[in-house]
């Protein structure tokens, strides 16, 4: 049986072919209202379907935020299942933003839900939280590797409250965030040694965090939320990411979604964001 192509290899190809842009699918109540949709399952489905129709054949990554689907219960989760499947079928990589983190068999169950072949919510990658200890993520990391999928671990997040944990200094010396980054570098080493252009295990590093002094070269992708509504711009990326700009996957949500509900307007907004991001990632200026 042929081993699946690693997520990092697929992501590198998608970023090179379509541009380094991740667009959130964030059906927030205010966006549903702005689109003239009801804050109900019907509005949720119309919103998600429109984003997939407009962008799945064009952007590298779509990132559904699970919470905005879960708030509608089982019917909302069913919409999420269909959204993930439709986006992947149309050619986008899907990063499911679930931020799960637990221990033992519970973490293994989360991993199976998002990373197992054939699971209803199986995505190309998932976000996870390491704050029960990096080792608690092992079921997700191992299943992702086995199935050619990816994991993005929270490291330096875009919210200001994150610093009280992530910037704390550990007994071993580095900050909590640096310790996570160092472990991810180790996680990616085998794929890189085998010739992969990018590892499958990424970190979430907010575009809002400024100059952290952290060593961000982990050999895997760096998901950069915070561009747009949270205050960062494409011009901030070189200052935050320095020599690792080639691994950065900026995430934009409301900056694109506010231009709905017309698919053509969403496509135009995504193209503008991608062009602006590429300008700074390419130049480092």
Model pLDDT for residues 83-119, shown as the tens digit of each residue:
999 999 999 999 999 999 999 999 999 999 999 999 9
Report the 10 Å Cβ neighbour count for 171.
4
Q: Is 99 among the residues known to form the active site?
A: yes
At residue 197 the predicted structure's pLDDT band, cuts being 50, 70 and 90, is: very high
Burial class of residue 160 in the structure, from the number of CB atoms within 10 Å of its CB (0-12 exposed, 13-18 middle, 19+ buried)? exposed
pLDDT digits (tens, 9 = 90+) for 141-174: 999 999 999 999 999 998 889 989 999 998 888 9
pTM of the predicted structure, to 2 decimals: 0.96
Q: pLDDT value at position 285?
A: 41
The single residue of 99, 138, 254, 258 carrying the catalytic annotation is: 99
Domain 7-278 architecture:
Alpha-Beta Barrel (3.20)
Q: pLDDT value at position 283?
A: 55
On the CB side of 104, CA atoms within 13 Å amount to: 1
């Amino acid at each position: 049986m042929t081993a699946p192509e690693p997520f990092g290899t697929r992501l590198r190809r998608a970023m090179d072919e379509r541009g380094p842009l991740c667009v959130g699918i964030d059906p927030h109540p205010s966006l549903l209202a702005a689109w003239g949709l009801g804050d109900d399952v019907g509005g949720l489905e119309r919103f998600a379907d429109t984003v997939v129709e407009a962008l799945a054949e064009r952007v590298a990554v779509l990132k559904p935020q699970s919470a905005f689907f879960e708030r509608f219960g089982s019917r909302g989760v069913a919409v999420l299942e269909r959204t993930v499947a439709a986006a992947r079928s149309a050619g986008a990589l899907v990063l499911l933003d679930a931020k799960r983190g637990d221990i033992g068999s519970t973490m293994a169950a989360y991993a199976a839900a998002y990373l197992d072949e054939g699971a209803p919510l199986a995505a190309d990658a998932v976000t996870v939280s390491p704050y029960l200890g990096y080792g608690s993520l092992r079921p997700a990391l191992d299943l992702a590797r086995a199935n050619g999928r990816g994991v993005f671990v929270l490291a330096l997040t875009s919210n200001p409250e994150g610093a009280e944990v992530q910037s704390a200094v550990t007994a071993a010396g580095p900050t909590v965030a640096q310790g996570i980054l160092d472990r991810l570098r180790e996680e990616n080493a085998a794929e890189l040694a085998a010739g992969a252009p990018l590892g499958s295990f990424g970190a979430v590093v907010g575009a809002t965090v400024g100059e952290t002094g952290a060593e961000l070269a982990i050999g895997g992708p760096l998901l950069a939320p915070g561009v747009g509504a949270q205050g960062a711009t494409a011009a901030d990326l070189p200052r935050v990411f320095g020599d690792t700009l080639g691994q950065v996957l900026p995430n934009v949500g409301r900056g694109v979604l506010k231009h709905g509900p017309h698919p053509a307007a969403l496509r135009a907004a995504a193209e503008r964001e991608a062009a602006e991001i590429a300008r700074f990632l390419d130049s480092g200026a």
